[in-house]
Structure 1
Amino acid sequence: MSEAGRGWLRERRAEDADKVDFPELFFDLVFVISILQVSHRLATHYDALGFAETLLIMLALWWVWIFTTWVTNWLDPDKLPVRLMLFALTFLGLLLASAVGKAFDEKALLFAGAYVTMQVGRSLFALYAFHGHSPDEFSHFRRVTIWLVASAILWIAGALLGGHIQLMLWIAAIGIEYAAPAAGFRVPGLGRSEGDDWDVLGAHMAERCALFVIICLGETILVTGRTLSDMPMEPLTFLLASTAFLTTALMWWIYFHFGHDRAAEEIETAREPGEAARTIFTYAHIPIVVAIILSAVGEEFVLSHPTGETELKTASALIGAPAIFLLGNVWIKRAATGRIPPSHLIGLALLVLAIPMSLVLQPYALFVLAMAILAVTAACEVYFLRRALAHLRGKETEKQDGEG
């Protein structure tokens, strides 16, 4: 068993140890469907209850994905047993995605059953892989499994009981799972997991999360293309198409231009890489994902009804999405660099000022305004970064002149 486990682990010192493997990309495919389902569900249930239910579903999808990413950060997807595990998770993920739209109706048990099987089954597989080979990871996943089994009871019970009790039990279940990493998966008699116990490949985690962000951004492109295909070709349609594309491109720019690579470096050099990875990737990416999904919903609203009075749901999505997105990037960049980007604070302030404008602007105009605020944010970040770099180079030049 020890030899089997050793054969399934990633080689930490290999040159390509942190590369994302094709089986992981295959696993990601099912989340394209999941994000589409979540976006559609939110668009058709855009009220307090619908938002709460859809948010809970999204949190569950993110959690099953990020937990799998943690496992493949330690186990090698090119090894046959690990690859088969990912294939099994992909099939279960397909069932999970098919149940998203009716997770609080007749497909509640399918959603809960698929989710629980993915979470607990993957954890048991990792437990087997580490047994007799890696004591730290084995102890860690023993605690993880106990927490997931505890939440699984609530997931299944909620699906069986239905109604408002289902929502309450599922909130409790997801609450347990989200509290677990922050609590170090503490179990009486088994201790807790410490950040310095986790050997994390930062570049792998960063690339995996970046790929998930791209999946979400792809959803906005799909929504735009699907909706525009039924619209007449006229100047307003071109304006909407341009604004939708630029909004997606600007979110890509703000996320990837600075912070993504820095986050990977932070994990690799941190004194407690597990703690840093937990903050940056496990938790701080959640608002990024929520914001992009909400942005896709806002685009669907404004593309469907571009003129006339701006409804509250349209305004809340158009302004709320970039605000949440910038807050998520502030969290990531603050954790990775130790600083809060002033450009993002400028963008957030402008979005606050845009709130009263939603009362007088038509949907398409508010859409353009929100995109313009993202453009200002991106431009300010480039300016501040160049100024900081020039200042750093100036100090280095002065130091060299002084030594000379």
Structure 2
Amino acid sequence: MGGRRGGLLREEKNGRYEPSPVELLFDLVFVFAATQLSVFLLKHLDLTGLLEAFVLLLAVWWFWDHIVWTTNWFNPDKWPVRLVLFVAMGLGLVMSTSILGAFEDLGVVFVVGYLGMHVLRGAFIIVAAWRESRELAMNLVRASIWVAISSPLWIIGAVADPQQRVWWWLAAIALNYFGPAVRYWLPVIGRSPVESWAVSGHHISERAQLFVIIALGESVLVMGFTFRGDWMNPASAFALFATLVGTLLLWLIYFNNTAGVAQKFFEKARESGRLAANAYTYLHLVIVAGIVLVAVGDELVLAHPDDPLDPSTAAVVFGGPALYILGNLLFKHSVGYRWLKSNIIGILVLILLFLLTTALGSLTPLIASWLANAVILAVVIGEEVAHRRSPAVGANLAP
């Protein structure tokens, strides 16, 4: 989508927009948000806490993703766009700092940050794009109406009894996520044209990769803060090594081959907006959720490496990598890979390990962590073998 000279829309540069420094600055808020989500889940490691953490993650991811799409269309080197990003950073910080109390006394603060972003983004795009791209402006009119429909659910949930809040917010976030899936259909004005959501595949791919690195970096922060230099304890030292190896293996699953394939796929895609929404807006959420669970598992392994393995710890130690591999499997399929057998087998083995270790109850978190790493390593090797055997990448990649 090209903009007229002097306008705020991106100038077309062969569809390749590099992330700007101000976008990277904006991302720093979400390093903190990822840490807060992990801490929240650690404090509420049960089914209710898992559901609440999931709703918070959905909101955090939706906030970040919407700003990414905004900077995909608008040039962040222009001062009006920069100011939007600065205000969005402030709203993101409001939301992130209220995560730990979102289901206690800070529900209103959390909603102010979240809905404030939507109001800011919608108003800016409608006004800024009205002359240069009426179609894009109308898209945001539709999107803003959908946000307005969901807003009462967010507000009612924020002032409702904390025990009921999760259900109000779950309904609200479901509406938010359902809107793009139906292209913000509304009576009379219909739905957004597919071509009007065209994006730079290179830019959105780079931004998603950076967020994955941010999330993985949060695991590294967890390692440092939890370990606290306890080198005299062999179990703690081996736990630190286990968590580091696990993070490196997760990085390989995503970055070793897939990132480059995905960029090439989107450079050739005709309906880039629809495909990017599926691959990066929805499927990357599963990847990030897996990383958050892995970070929680890392902290539990580092804090209690020699303790008996309880079901909650086993669930995150094995469930985090399984969810991460599932997200990568779905993402890779969305950009042209066949269904990778190594990923499917790895997920099944991790589930089996969870069931066996829970039933036996004789392992420690440290041993469980190394078992999970062994499975992830097998998945990495399986993917590499598949990639090397393939005569091409993308749609021709054999499992």
Superposition TM-score tier, normalisation by shorter sequence: over 0.9
Q: What is the CA–CA distance in structure 2 between the aligned matches of 1:133 and 1:391, rounded to whole Å?
A: 37
Matched, 1:363 2:365: yes
Shift of 1:81: 0.1
SS at match of 1:101: coil
What residue identity is the alignment partner of 1:156?
I
The answer for unaligned runs of 5 or more in structure 1 is 393-404
Matched, 1:23 2:22: yes
What residue is the counterpart of 1:377 in the other structure? 379
Q: What is the CA–CA distance in structure 1 between the aligned matches of 2:66 and 2:90, rounded to whole Å?
A: 17
What residue identity is the alignment partner of 2:379?
T
Question: Any idea what the Cα deviations from partners look like across 1:198-230, whole Å, max 9, x if unmatched?
Answer: 221001000101111111101110111111115
Question: Any idea what the Cα deviations from partners look like across 1:126-167, whole Å, max 9, x if unmatched?
Answer: 111110221221111110111112212221221122333322
Question: Any idea what the Cα deviations from partners look like across 1:4-23, whole Å, max 9, x if unmatched?
Answer: 996111112x2685110111
SS at match of 1:129: helix
Q: What is the CA–CA distance in structure 2 between the aligned matches of 1:211 and 1:280, rounded to whole Å?
A: 15
What residue is the counterpart of 1:304 in the other structure? 303
Q: What is the CA–CA distance in structure 1 between the aligned matches of 2:161 and 2:392, rounded to whole Å?
A: 60
Question: Any idea what the Cα deviations from partners look like across 1:257-293, whole Å, max 9, x if unmatched?
Answer: 1222222222222221111101100100011100000
Whether the 8 Å contact between 2:32 and 2:96 is mirrored in structure 1 is yes
The 10-residue stretch of structure 1 (137-146 or 152-161) with the greater mean CA deviation from structure 2: 152-161
Q: What is the CA–CA distance in structure 1 between the aligned matches of 2:307 and 2:114, rounded to whole Å?
A: 42
Judging changes above 3 Å, is the alpha-carbon distance between structure 1 residues 363 and 165 closer, same or farther for their aligned structure 2 residues? closer
Shift of 1:189: 1.4
Q: What is the CA–CA distance in structure 1 between the aligned matches of 2:174 and 2:43, rounded to whole Å?
A: 25
What residue identity is the alignment partner of 1:7?
G
What residue identity is the alignment partner of 1:106?
D
Judging changes above 3 Å, is the alpha-carbon distance between structure 1 residues 390 and 99 closer, same or farther for their aligned structure 2 residues? closer
Shift of 1:352: 2.9
What residue is the counterpart of 2:154 in the other structure? 155
Q: What is the CA–CA distance in structure 2 between the aligned matches of 1:388 and 1:122, rounded to whole Å?
A: 43
Q: What is the CA–CA distance in structure 2 between the aligned matches of 1:390 and 1:282, rounded to whole Å?
A: 26
Whether the 8 Å contact between 1:38 and 1:54 is mirrored in structure 2 is yes
Whether the 8 Å contact between 2:314 and 2:365 is mirrored in structure 1 is yes
Whether the 8 Å contact between 1:200 and 1:267 is mirrored in structure 2 is no
What residue identity is the alignment partner of 1:36?
T
Question: Any idea what the Cα deviations from partners look like across 1:322-353, whole Å, max 9, x if unmatched?
Answer: 11011100110000014112221231232133
Whether the 8 Å contact between 1:10 and 1:17 is mirrored in structure 2 is no
SS at match of 1:300: helix
Q: What is the CA–CA distance in structure 1 between the aligned matches of 2:6 and 2:147, rounded to whole Å?
A: 25
What residue is the counterpart of 1:120 in the other structure? 119
Whether the 8 Å contact between 1:120 and 1:149 is mirrored in structure 2 is no
What residue is the counterpart of 1:400 in the other structure? none
What residue identity is the alignment partner of 1:364?
L
Q: What is the CA–CA distance in structure 2 between the aligned matches of 1:343 and 1:229, rounded to whole Å?
A: 36
Judging changes above 3 Å, is the alpha-carbon distance between structure 1 residues 221 and 113 closer, same or farther for their aligned structure 2 residues? same
Q: Which has the larger radius of gyration?
A: 1
What residue is the counterpart of 2:130 in the other structure? 131
SS at match of 1:10: coil
Question: Any idea what the Cα deviations from partners look like across 1:36-90, whole Å, max 9, x if unmatched?
Answer: 1110000011111111111101110000100110111000000000000000000
Question: How does 1:383-402 map onto structure 2 within 5 Å?
Answer: 383-389=385-391
Question: How does 1:213-362 map onto structure 2 within 5 Å?
Answer: 213-229=212-228, 231-355=230-354, 356-358=356-358, 359=360, 360-362=362-364
What residue is the counterpart of 1:41 in the other structure? 40
Q: What is the CA–CA distance in structure 2 between the aligned matches of 1:325 and 1:119, rounded to whole Å?
A: 28
What residue identity is the alignment partner of 1:279?
N
Judging changes above 3 Å, is the alpha-carbon distance between structure 1 residues 265 and 62 closer, same or farther for their aligned structure 2 residues? same
What residue is the counterpart of 1:8 in the other structure? 8
The answer for unaligned runs of 5 or more in structure 2 is 395-399
What residue identity is the alignment partner of 1:284?
L
What residue identity is the alignment partner of 1:320?
G
What residue identity is the alignment partner of 2:38?
S
Shift of 1:237: 2.4
Structure richer in helix, relative to its length: 1
The alignment covers a number of residue pairs equal to 389
Q: What is the CA–CA distance in structure 1 between the aligned matches of 2:63 and 2:270, rounded to whole Å?
A: 27
The 10-residue stretch of structure 1 (292-301 or 224-233) with the greater mean CA deviation from structure 2: 224-233
Whether the 8 Å contact between 2:15 and 2:202 is mirrored in structure 1 is no
Whether the 8 Å contact between 2:16 and 2:202 is mirrored in structure 1 is no
The 10-residue stretch of structure 1 (33-42 or 345-354) with the greater mean CA deviation from structure 2: 345-354
Judging changes above 3 Å, is the alpha-carbon distance between structure 1 residues 147 and 6 closer, same or farther for their aligned structure 2 residues? farther
What residue identity is the alignment partner of 1:66?
D
What residue is the counterpart of 1:105 in the other structure? 104
Calculate percent identity across the aligned residue pairs: 37
What residue identity is the alignment partner of 2:213?
I
What residue identity is the alignment partner of 2:107?
A
Q: What is the CA–CA distance in structure 1 between the aligned matches of 2:227 and 2:370, rounded to whole Å?
A: 16
Question: Any idea what the Cα deviations from partners look like across 1:79-113, whole Å, max 9, x if unmatched?
Answer: 00000000000011111111010011111111001
Matched, 1:89 2:88: yes
Whether the 8 Å contact between 2:236 and 2:305 is mirrored in structure 1 is no
Q: What is the CA–CA distance in structure 1 between the aligned matches of 2:144 and 2:165, rounded to whole Å?
A: 23
What residue identity is the alignment partner of 1:329?
N
Q: What is the CA–CA distance in structure 1 between the aligned matches of 2:393 and 2:27, rounded to whole Å?
A: 42
Q: TM-score, normalised by structure 2?
A: 0.93
What residue identity is the alignment partner of 1:311?
D
Shift of 1:387: 1.6
What residue identity is the alignment partner of 1:363?
P
Q: List structure 1 runs of 4+ shifted beyond 3 angstroms.
A: 3-6, 389-392
What residue is the counterpart of 1:165 in the other structure? 164
